[in-house]
């Protein structure tokens, strides 16, 4: 019986998967930076002659990464973005050839017909200088990732004003830096929902308190009662889905519903590497979430544990109509504009690796 050759991860990717599963690499930014470096080395050291051959090999490694780490969506996003960069560099090289043959600048007609011309280009043909152009472009992306956090937090004073009461939930590094940056020039007060049962909101409250920001920790059950006093809700997210919805920490949906009731704007901090072309469908609800240890919900020693079935979900789905504004490292955008950002980051053919 014959079939396609079995795909195997490279030693670097196998070690990366091992480290992520053991918790040695955590956080979306670290995951994105690490896999970007690994795939850059893969492009540099792997033997390939055409863009099509390279994209096939990257897609194979991406498929293995997604199968091994399905919940870390930023990894698949990085693979998709690199595939888009391969296409862009090949297309740019082909455009330069066409321009040199015709004229030194694109006419209006060529700009209009550029997409149709790109579709006819054959990625199976070798292209001189493609590897060097790719490595240079990926170095620029790595620099963008390094400055991503600073570019996002620099917008804090544009969205937070003096004497405002801000509510957040849990502990997001992006939100922590954003609030601290705003507090440098503004006098603000922050309410942090503790996000039980993990209660990471306490970590954020301690960090903000050290920065001399007036902070109050509340239980999740008090969110609705406190919302009438709040000026803005600012939260982080695990990923932004293709329709503008959120895969955020459990409790974010209740927070967004309370904000909607009192017409409080909900601002989501989401660097561009968290934007994903994935939709939430009914058939993959189980894959969308993670169930954590229910010990924090009902202790095993409790008599009720013998008769109850407890779940401790990690994520919530927040629909786009509950989100007011996304702030990325490139600026602020409405949820309805996410489709445009996705078209700039990823190619439609790479949505399914």
Rounded distance between C-alpha atoms, residue 125 and residue 128, angstroms: 10
Handedness of CA 301, 306, 310, 312 (dihedral sign): positive
Among the candidates 147, 163, 181, a domain finishes at 147
Confidence of residue 96 (pLDDT cuts 50, 70, 90): low
Q: Is the pTM of this model over 0.75?
A: yes
Residue 114 maps to which CATH number?
Answer: 1.20.120
Lowest-confidence pick of 44-58, 266-280, 284-298: 284-298
Same domain for 265 and 215: yes
Among the candidates 147, 177, 203, a domain finishes at 147
Same domain for 84 and 24: yes
pLDDT over 60 at 282, yes or no: no
Cβ-contact 232, 202 below 8 angstroms: no
Look at residue 303 in the predicted model and tell me its pLDDT. 84
pLDDT over 70 at 121, yes or no: no
Backbone φ, ψ for residue 332 (5° rounding): -95, 140
pLDDT over 80 at 105, yes or no: no
Same domain for 226 and 140: no
Same domain for 171 and 142: no
What's the domain count of the chain? 2
Among the candidates 116, 147, 178, a domain finishes at 147
Same domain for 132 and 204: no
Same domain for 246 and 132: no
Is 6 inside a domain boundary? Answer: no
Rounded distance between C-alpha atoms, residue 55 and residue 289, angstroms: 30
pLDDT over 80 at 1, yes or no: no
Look at residue 269 in the predicted model and tell me its pLDDT. 96
Residue 327 maps to which CATH number?
Answer: 3.40.50.10470
Confidence of residue 109 (pLDDT cuts 50, 70, 90): low
Q: At what angle do helices 51-68 and 73-102 cross, to 10 degrees?
A: 170
Helices (H), 268-309: 285-288
Range of the domain at 55: 11-147
Same domain for 249 and 127: no
Is 55 inside a domain boundary? Answer: yes
Q: Which residue has the tokens 């054959």?
A: 122
Q: What is the dihedral of CA 176, 182, 187, 188, to 10 degrees?
A: -40
**Tokens coding 314:** 């990690």
Is 168 inside a domain boundary? Answer: yes
Phi-psi region of 218 (alpha: psi -120 to 50; beta: other; left: phi over 0): beta
pLDDT over 50 at 2, yes or no: no
Same domain for 339 and 279: yes
The overall average pLDDT reported for the chain is 88
């Amino acid at each position: 019986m014959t079939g396609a050759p079995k795909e195997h991860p490279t030693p670097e990717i196998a070690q990366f998967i091992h480290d992520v599963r053991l918790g040695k690499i955590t956080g979306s930014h670290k995951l994105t930076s690490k896999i970007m470096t690994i795939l850059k080395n893969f492009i540099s050291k792997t033997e390939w002659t055409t863009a099509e051959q390279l994209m096939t090999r990257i897609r194979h490694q991406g498929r293995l990464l997604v199968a091994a780490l399905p919940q870390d969506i930023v990894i698949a996003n990085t693979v998709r973005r690199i595939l888009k960069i391969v296409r862009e560099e090949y297309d740019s090289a082909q455009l330069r050839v066409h321009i040199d043959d015709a004229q030194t600048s694109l006419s209006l007609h060529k700009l209009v017909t550029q997409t149709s011309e790109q579709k006819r280009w054959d990625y199976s043909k070798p292209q001189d200088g493609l590897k060097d152009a790719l490595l240079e472009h990926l170095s620029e992306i790595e620099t963008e990732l390094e400055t991503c956090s600073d570019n996002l937090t620099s917008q804090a004073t544009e969205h937070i004003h003096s004497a405002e009461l801000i509510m957040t939930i849990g502990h997001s590094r992006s939100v922590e830096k954003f609030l601290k940056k705003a507090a440098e020039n503004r006098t603000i007060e922050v309410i942090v929902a503790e996000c039980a049962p993990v209660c990471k909101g306490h970590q954020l409250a301690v960090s903000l308190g050290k920065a001399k920001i007036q902070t109050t920790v509340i239980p999740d059950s008090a969110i609705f009662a406190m919302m009438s006093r709040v000026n803005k809700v600012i939260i982080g997210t695990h990923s932004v889905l293709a329709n503008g919805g959120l895969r955020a920490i459990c409790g974010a949906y209740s927070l967004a519903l309370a904000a909607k009731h009192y017409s409080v704007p909900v601002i989501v901090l989401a660097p561009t590497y968290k934007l994903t072309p994935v939709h939430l469908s009914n058939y993959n609800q189980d894959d969308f979430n993670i169930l954590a240890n229910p010990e924090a919900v009902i202790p095993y020693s409790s008599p009720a544990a013998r008769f109850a079935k407890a779940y401790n979900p990690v994520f919530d789905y927040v629909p786009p109509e509950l989100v007011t504004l996304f702030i990325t490292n490139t600026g602020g955008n409405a949820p309805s504009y996410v489709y445009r950002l996705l078209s700039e980051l990823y190619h439609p053919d790479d949505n399914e690796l």
